[in-house]
Structure 1
Amino acid sequence: MDDLTYTLRQLCQRNRDGSHATQADRQRGLTLVARQLREAGFRQMRAPSLKGKHVEALVERRQAEGLSVGTLKNRLAHLRWWAEKIGKAGIIPSDNTQLGIPERRYVTNENKARELGDALDKVNDPYVRMSLTLQAAFGLRREEAIKFQPRYADRGDHIALKGSWTRGGRERTVLITTPEQRAVLDQTHQLAGAGSLIPAHKTFGNPPISNTRQK
């Protein structure tokens, strides 16, 4: 383990902010940061070494990777946490647009929620109802919502989608920004448990062939 990964892990262990899921996600995110900085040529770093040039290198790489605005913001949140804990919060602009990251719009999701309206009352299957509710609350695609596994996806302040659920096979995240979204997630936990929103007697995209919940 290199010095940066080790000292970032120590920083996380000394500062246990947020839920267990949030802490675990933060440590994973910072481990990724350490690897990407090493790949960018910054090999003699420790946690207190963070500078503006490191932030710029990470943001440029992530934008080049075509990550969603939500994912960029989540990963930037990890960097801000790191900078704050070492007393260097000022090296990262508070305005994401200064880093070339546009503001995310949630109008589409709100419109979807309104359009869904009373239509849910006509849906009898609880799994279908829940997947439609997830689509409206988080702007998910149909396949993402059906394959959604709340135990895996719920990371406290955002949801994480596996590549096997998404179009193009690319993992992505969506921030949890409203109490309504949290309420929907809690309902999903109650219904799906450790499984997904594929009904127990079905598999995604196929006729009923199994009595085992897909995971």
Structure 2
Amino acid sequence: MRNEISVLRKFSRWVGKPNLVKPLQYYLPDASPERVKVTAVADTTKSWSANGIDVEAKMREAFEIDNRFGMVIAMQLAFGLRKKEAVSFQPWVSDQRDLGHNAIIVYGGAKGGKQRTIHIEFQFQYVVLDYVKQHIGKRDRLGWKKTIRGLNADLERNLKRYDYHMGKLGISKANCSVCGHGLRAE
């Protein structure tokens, strides 16, 4: 509701009526202020380790399930990639070290469609990026080229396969209160 009010408020400013839309509390007078309050800060941590998951063991398990899936998880852990960014990631194209920059650029799958730069700060990041580059073709994405049935894989099928492997790994909100996105919080 807050989002909708925000959109309406912006529209009312465009049409020259800045005070047309009232605060949400005005429209919901019986609701307690706590119920209509929105916060951008999480109440609980979403990291795997804080929720009792052995990240290293799950990483080994991921590589046993599927080597490419293990690389996706490793990149998520090393660089804080979202799943869409991870399966769309092109390691050879994104690595800026050859150009004198100690960073990677995330082109595909980034939130809002905007590319972002992630600086390489830790040895673990170098190791993971170099490992992935050894196993992925120069023009390839980190996601799978083919589906399990041998069809050409697109982004949608790659995301479904990622979710399927996460299920095999035992990582889901229902099972352990975290999901793959929690690797960004590690």
TM range, smaller chain:
0.3 to 0.5
Indicate the structure with greater helix content: 1
The structure whose RCO (Cα within 8 Å, separation 6+) is larger is 2
User: What TM-score do the two structures reach when normalised by structure 2?
Assistant: 0.48
